[in-house]
Amino acid sequence: MIKREIEKRQIPDFFVNDGKKITNKEEWEEHRKRVLDLFLGEEYGYLPPKIEPSIRLEEQAINFAGKAKWESVFFTFKKGTKRRTVRAELILPRGKKSPVFLAIDFLKESPNKYLPVEEILDSGFGIFKLCYESVTRDNGDFENGLCALFEGGKEKYGKIAIWSYMASICMDYLMTREDVDSKNVAIIGHSRLGKTALLTSAIDNRFVLTCVNDSGCCGASVSRGKVDGNEKIYDIVKTFPYWFKREYALYAGKENTLPFDQHMLLSLVAPRNVIIGGAKEDVWADNEGQFLSCHLASYAWELYGKSGLIHDGKMPEVGEVLTAGELGFYLREGTHFLSRDDWKIYISKFREILDNEIRE
Ligand code: GCU
């Protein structure tokens, strides 16, 4: 099925440099810089240079029956006369050095329908939650929030890159915390924030696990060969032009001219762990395209002597969870959402990573 699908979608082999197939880790590590450059240069835009924030903490009274410690973290960035503050929430199991989920979240409040705080804590994980609109609003205003501090505005980058910029700064902060096991931080995002989590991890290699939920078009699913009902570049740049670098819109309807496809973004995460989550009824996100992307990206893991997606060549059935390799994919029942069922899969993989670490 897979070979036919790749041919049908006309996806070229992008593990090639100057006409020569990449065959080892060293060649890939050289080549991956060019691949990343293409993604930033053509699609998401380059991230602005990091500004060192000043940090203020505020302890919250809510502690989940005494199980947790909750601190709001205020990052203040200054440039010239302008200053902007971004707020994030650090919720850690009390009295333990904990592995953490860095959750790029839609909603301000915690817990919320996408973020089951207590269940996550009870599974032994802390949470660093960043509400994406605290960074900059999800619209075309490039004077809003952090964007106001960066030169070039929408000419230079899209908002996904800015959310991603802040996620990396959150990781910088986690590395300073004694109560955080900063070697074990997973990043998670759903939908547009799944795209953000994936981009972040492609750029920043400090995440031990990347959970990319229902990210679809311009996230984990390949852009070539979409069918009716799948979101295409044309659709996404029409509704959300400001998520991307402006020129990316030129690829609408011309997917075959892209010098990459989305599976190469996935491959930039190798050899670390990543899971691509899909929901059966989320046709918009193109689950076949996400599965294919995992299959194609697996080559990067193989170059490190690791297994990418372990599968039998067929699109998985609903309910099948293919997370035995470092690159995982699953398809659950239901619609576009970051549900408890998704969290269970991510948590269980994270637990497995930690258990393996102890054994090694
Ligand atoms: C829209 C958009 C998707 C995106 C989704 C979301 O449906 O077209 O690309 O993933 O919103 O973020 O919820």
For ligand 1, the distance from its centroid to the CA atom of residue 68, given in whole angstroms, is 33
In this prediction, residues 232-238 reach a mean pLDDT of 98
Q: What are phi and psi of 312, to 5 degrees?
A: -110, 20
Q: Is the CB of 236 under 6 A from ligand 1?
A: yes
For 194-222, the pLDDT digits (tens) are: 999 999 999 999 999 999 999 999 999 99
Tally of structural domains, the chain: 1
Model confidence, pTM: 0.98
Q: Give the H or E element holding residue 73.
A: strand 68-79
Q: What is the mean pLDDT of the chain?
A: 97
Nearest Cα residue to atom 12 of ligand 1: 192
Q: Is the CB of 231 under 6 A from ligand 1?
A: yes
Residues 6+ apart with CB under 8 A from 26: none
- Contact call for residues 316 and 292 (beta carbons, < 8 A): no
* Span of 2-6, 52-56, 323-327 with lowest mean pLDDT: 2-6
Confidence at 153, pLDDT banded by 50, 70, 90: confident
Tell me: pLDDT of 359 over 80: no
Instruction: Indicate the length of the chain as a whole number.
Output: 360
Give the ligand 1 atom nearest the CA of 194.
Answer: 10
Give the ligand 1 atom nearest the CA of 235.
Answer: 8
For ligand 1, the distance from its centroid to the CA atom of residue 197, given in whole angstroms, is 14
| Count of C-beta atoms within a 10 Å radius of residue 205 | 12
**Ligand 1 probe mutation, 105, 159, 163, 191, most atoms within 8 A of CB:** 191
**Ligand 1 probe mutation, 231, 248, 282, most atoms within 8 A of CB:** 231
Confidence at 21, pLDDT banded by 50, 70, 90: very high
Q: What are phi and psi of 127, to 5 degrees?
A: -135, 135
Domain at 11, CATH number: 3.40.50.1820
Concatenated DSSP letters for 233-261? Answer: HHHHHHH-GGGS-GGGGGGTT-GGG-SS-
Helix and strand numbers, DSSP H then E, in the chain:
10, 12
Give the ligand 1 atom nearest the CA of 214.
Answer: 10
Q: Is the CB of 192 under 6 A from ligand 1?
A: yes
In this prediction, residues 54-70 reach a mean pLDDT of 97
- Contact call for residues 150 and 48 (beta carbons, < 8 A): yes
What is the reported pLDDT for 124?
Answer: 98
Whole domain around residue 33: which residue ranges?
2-359
For 345-355, the pLDDT digits (tens) are: 999 999 999 99
Q: Is the CB of 117 under 6 A from ligand 1?
A: no
Instruction: Map tokens 């890939």 to a residue.
Output: 28
Confidence at 104, pLDDT banded by 50, 70, 90: very high
Concatenated DSSP letters for 88-127? Answer: EEEEEETTS-EEEEEEEES-SSSSBTTB-HHHHHHTT-EE
By C-alpha distance, which of 265, 272, 102 is closest to 187? 102
